Amino acid sequence: MQLYPMKRILVATVSVGLIAMGLTVAPAQAAPPDATPVPRLLGFTPILKYVSCPAKEALPARTRCATLTVPLDWQKPKDGRTIKIALRITRSAQRDGALTFNPGGPGEPAIGIGPAVYSLLPAAVRDRFDFVVWDPRGVGLSGPALTDCPAAEGLAAPLVGPVDWRDFWDSQFAAFAKANSECLAANPNAAPYLGTWQVIRDLEAMRIALGYKQWNYWGMSYGTRIGHAYARTFPSSLRTLIMDGSLMAGETAFRFGTTFPSGVSVTKQVYASINGKAQAHKMNAIFDYLDRKVITIKGTQIDRWGLAQELRGLLGQQAQYPTIRKVVDALYRLVKAKTGAQKARAAHAVRNARALLPKTNDSTTTIRLINCADLPDRPTADQLAAASGAVARDFGTVFVMWMANASMCAGLPDDLSPPSPHGTDPIDLATPPIFVLSTGDAATPWAWGRSMANTFTGSRTISYTSTQHVTYLFAPSPCVNDTVTRYLLTLRRPSGDIACAFTPSPPLD
């Protein structure tokens, strides 16, 4: 299990009626020049170099490509080791500061999806702010690159029947320890330097190098950890801060894993409240059946673990609700079928519904290394085995798998990197942030974001009724989108926290 990757989010066309709202804009910043001397930052002078854009990239007009040379290790900026961060800068008409974002993961490249995100921005935002896209260190086009990192191959949990959770977690920890230690040994000049502590210093060097007084920063999913750490370290460098699908404050690897099953349980109930209350009952019946028996349809197996992963991923995209409902309804008819004819018809419906599901394949190595750099605690197999029984009893057998994030750091030292600053003590920003939180978020539970919002004095929270993960401009909610865009343009926040009702997404093409 991992934080829900940005590239899985299906982009829906949305419109934000700002002209009719009669918005006024906040005072302008001076436009940065195309080239500016880069001051020294923490004992190092970053080097910004504009380069030719790759011909294969379909970039927006007025986009320039660049690299920023920064230290491999900001703790030792003078040791001669450097890396290059890849950037794309789309100039605005007004050149009034810049908007940048991180798409989450951790480990998701931003440059590949930058044009799609840019296309979603309201015209007033595109005209006002330069749009700066960058791949974080160790991700996409930015160094350092990881090599020879094996997959973690642990003991597969039994497809049916009871699970010996002690054996399972012992196997998982051993597999992660082997894979992580081999990756670390093969990458001594890369693996220890991917954490958020390093990333926020890259982000500050980037701001200075590009000549911007402040950032407008949009953190998506894991990107909220970057936003939180950046706000704690460089508070005066933020004009606005949008935290979308937020992680928790006071985060630990243990809490990251063990609080997740209850969040997924809420996801199921919120989904059912929108798509038919019987959907929760049907899901329960399907997984009760799969605890006893694997479904086989024309040589294709459907087991409890695979289906759970599939559904949780899809639930982060509200545009997929019709497909999810078709799959759930068809599987429910199949597990409740009494006659051969009923089973045949239901199996045919399951096949057709599953054919609509998107296919994904994501590497988890970078995700593990970043999370384990940020979170220094190292949970044990004993701790997870002790928690597994209660989780299985409270929520169901498959929910135990959602604790896997707590096992991912096995084999890595607890001092892999300076930890990301993510405490619960208050933060005061000149303009407090806006948090956008789905009530049934399938990847970052609402309560996580609520806890982080509470660390910012004067923050405002928008709670959106959905299981959508990352909501601003990715769900067609005027209540969400107009509020966030108004904040971005004018610095005006709601007078208090607000709740936004579900707005259906348009049908997928």
Compute the CA torsion angle 436, 439, 440, 443 (nearest 10 deg).
Answer: 30
* Exposure string over 396-433, b if 16+ CB within 10 A, otherwise e: bbbbbbbbbbbbbbbbbeeebbbbbbbeeeebebebbb
Q: What is the pLDDT of residues 224-270, one digit of tens each?
A: 999 999 999 999 999 999 999 999 999 999 999 999 999 999 999 99
Asked if 279 and 270 count as a contact pair (C-beta separation under 8 A), the reply is no
Query: CA angle 186-188-194, nearest 5°?
Result: 110
Q: What is the pLDDT of residue 39?
A: 54
Q: Is 45 exposed, middle or buried (0-12, 13-18, 19+ CB in 10 A)?
A: middle
Token duo for residue 499: 């709740």
496 secondary structure, DSSP code: S
Q: What percent of the chain has pLDDT over 90?
A: 86
> Are 26 and 109 part of one and the same domain?
yes
Q: Is the per-residue pLDDT at 2 higher than 50?
A: no
> Are 80 and 159 part of one and the same domain?
no
- What CATH code is carried by the domain that includes residue 119? 3.40.50.1820
- Is the four-CA dihedral 263, 266, 271, 272 of positive or negative sign? positive
Q: What is the pLDDT of residue 417?
A: 94
> Are 181 and 195 part of one and the same domain?
no
Query: CA angle 22-23-28, nearest 5°?
Result: 145
Q: What is the pLDDT of residue 363?
A: 58
Asked if 44 and 75 count as a contact pair (C-beta separation under 8 A), the reply is no
Range of the domain at 435: 6-145+191-252+418-500
33 secondary structure, DSSP code: P
The domain total for the chain is: 2
Q: Is the per-residue pLDDT at 27 higher than 80?
A: no
User: pLDDT-derived band of residue 356, with 50, 70 and 90 as boundaries?
Assistant: confident
Q: What is the pLDDT of residues 459-506, one digit of tens each?
A: 999 999 999 999 999 999 999 999 999 999 999 999 999 999 999 999
Q: What is the pLDDT of residues 10-26, one digit of tens each?
A: 333 232 232 223 333 34
The stretch 391-395 carries a mean pLDDT of 96
* Position 261 in a domain: no
> Are 63 and 207 part of one and the same domain?
yes
Asked if 333 and 343 count as a contact pair (C-beta separation under 8 A), the reply is no
> Are 298 and 198 part of one and the same domain?
no
> Are 141 and 178 part of one and the same domain?
no
pTM: 0.92
